């Protein structure tokens, strides 16, 4: 089976270094918020170009902490998209705020800046653009609209580690950048983890308090917080993998280039990188009117293509009929019916990728009938 993503392959690629890093933590005997977390926070901040970084328990918690630190809660509205992992909307609702949905750009699958002005109300406090599939959202106009209305910009970077927009890493052009280290990400842990990056020292300090009960000193809560800590073992693993992130992203880009050349005549809509941005191909997402038949055809031939995401958030049972903006999302709903993620990860063998291409060509030529 050719997997759509393969985090075990990345572990095996760096097994000795990762095993040594984990053993170092075990031998040291400090497992929560110790030397490894502090070092990783410094290294990740330097990598992104941010002034500060705060390690947390997951990408969802990164968004949640960022929103709370920006004083967003009950009575607030936060503009985002429905074509994303449900975590984006779940984090907004964790604060008591209301997610307000706008449509996506059909070519890039990210928040359409042209939809923002009509979605802003007196209750709007923030915008969360999602850098989806490794493709940065169009941050220039998004940030400009936000600044003109005094709104916070909290970037959801869960799928875009290392991506750039206008020459700067994503996560550094809004107020806060939020990353997930779920194992399948371009920079993935061996479990859950996340981080927030910011250039605002006050926000960084608040998020550092929020992640551990509001403690400035142990057992004394200065603000109401909760438990959202990146653990030492995950930080140690991530320090190893961070050293290889740019190399791995180049490998993804090379594989994407092979896909692009091989599938030019396969009857699919292929990814279109934004001109101002660097796409890091967390996922290689094609589009077809025959998506479901194509996915079944690939699966029958041992190829694990997946759908990200099959049901827009506003149509899922937990959210259906109650999120503002849900009536005006035609591009979101169309994409959910047509997108398909093909196998891509740095360790994917060229021979396996060629097999995927040949199978897609066979489908396109009608051999599946």
Q: Give me the percent of the chain exceeding a pLDDT of 70.
A: 99
* Main-chain dihedrals φ then ψ at residue 322, nearest 5 degrees: -135, 0
314-335 residue pLDDT tens: 999 999 999 999 999 999 999 9
Q: What is the pLDDT of residue 120?
A: 98
369 pLDDT above the threshold of 70? no
Burial of 29 (0-12, 13-18, 19+ CB in 10 A): exposed
CA angle 168, 53, 228 (to 5 degrees): 135
pLDDT band at 364 (very low <50, low <70, confident <90, very high): confident
Which residue did the predictor score with more confidence, 365 or 80?
80
- Which tens digits make up the pLDDT trace of 162-199? 999 999 999 999 999 999 999 999 999 999 999 999 99
Provide the mean pLDDT of the chain. Answer: 97
- Paired with 318 in beta bridges are none
Average confidence (pLDDT) over 130-137: 98
Average pLDDT over residues 198-208: 98
On the question of pLDDT at 52 being above 90, the answer is yes
Q: Is the pTM higher than 0.95?
A: yes
Return the axis-axis angle of helices 291-300 and 350-364, rounded to nearest 10°.
Answer: 130
The residue with tokens 């406090």 is: 125
Q: Where are the beta strands (DSSP E) in the chain?
A: 52-56, 77-81, 98-102, 124-127, 152-156, 164-165, 168-169, 176-180, 194-198, 215-217, 220-221, 277-278, 284-287, 339-342
Non-local (6+) Cβ contacts of 216 within 8 A are 209, 222
The DSSP line for 7-30 is HHHHHHHTHHHHHHHHHHHHHHT-
| Confidence check: pLDDT of 83 > 50 | yes
User: pLDDT at residue 368 above 70?
Assistant: no
Looking at residues 351-358, what average pLDDT do you find? Answer: 98
Structure token digits, residue 53: 């970084």
**Ordered structural domains, the chain, with CATH:** 7-242 (3.40.640.10), 245-364 (3.90.1150.10)
262-320 pLDDT, tens digit per residue, is 999 999 999 999 999 999 999 999 999 999 999 999 999 999 999 999 999 999 999 99
Cβ(222)–Cβ(215) below 8 Å: yes
pLDDT digits (tens, 9 = 90+) for 116-125: 999 999 999 9
The pLDDT of residue 366: 66
């Amino acid at each position: 089976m050719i997997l759509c993503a393969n985090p075990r392959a990345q572990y095996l690629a760096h097994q000795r270094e990762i095993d040594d890093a984990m053993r170092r933590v075990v031998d040291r005997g400090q497992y929560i918020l110790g030397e490894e977390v502090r070092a990783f926070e410094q290294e990740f901040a330097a990598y992104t170009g941010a002034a500060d970084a705060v390690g947390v328990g997951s990408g969802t918690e990164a968004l949640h902490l960022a929103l709370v630190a920006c004083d967003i809660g009950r009575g607030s509205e936060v503009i985002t998209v429905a074509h994303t992992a449900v975590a984006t909307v779940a984090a907004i609702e964790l604060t008591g705020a209301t997610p307000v949905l706008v449509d996506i750009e059909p070519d890039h699958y990210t928040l359409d800046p042209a939809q923002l002005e009509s979605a802003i109300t007196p209750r709007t406090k923030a915008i969360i653009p999602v850098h989806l599939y490794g493709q940065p959202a169009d941050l220039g106009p998004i940030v400009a609209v936000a600044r003109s209305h005094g709104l916070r910009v909290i970037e959801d970077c869960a799928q875009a580690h290392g991506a750039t927009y206008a020459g700067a890493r994503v996560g550094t052009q809004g107020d806060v950048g939020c990353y997930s280290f779920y194992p399948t990400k371009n920079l993935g842990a061996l479990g859950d983890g996340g981080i927030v990056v910011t250039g605002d020292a006050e926000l960084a300090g608040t998020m550092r308090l929020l992640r551990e009960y509001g403690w400035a000193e142990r057992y004394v809560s200065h603000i109401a917080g909760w438990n959202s800590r990146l653990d030492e073992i995950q930080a140690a693993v991530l320090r190893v993998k961070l050293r290889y992130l740019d190399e791995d992203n180049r490998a993804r880009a090379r594989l994407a280039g092979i896909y692009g050349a091989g599938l030019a005549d396969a009857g699919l809509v292929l990814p279109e990188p934004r001109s101002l941005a660097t796409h890091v191909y967390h996922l290689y997402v094609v589009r077809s009117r025959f998506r479901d038949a194509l996915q079944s055809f690939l699966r029958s031939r041992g190829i694990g293509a997946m759908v990200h995401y099959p049901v827009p958030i506003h149509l899922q049972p937990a959210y259906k009929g109650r999120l503002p903006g849900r009536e005006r999302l035609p591009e979101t709903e169309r994409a959910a019916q047509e997108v398909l993620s093909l196998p891509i990860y740095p360790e994917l063998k060229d021979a396996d990728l060629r097999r995927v291409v040949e199978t897609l060509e066979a489908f396109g030529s009608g051999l599946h009938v």
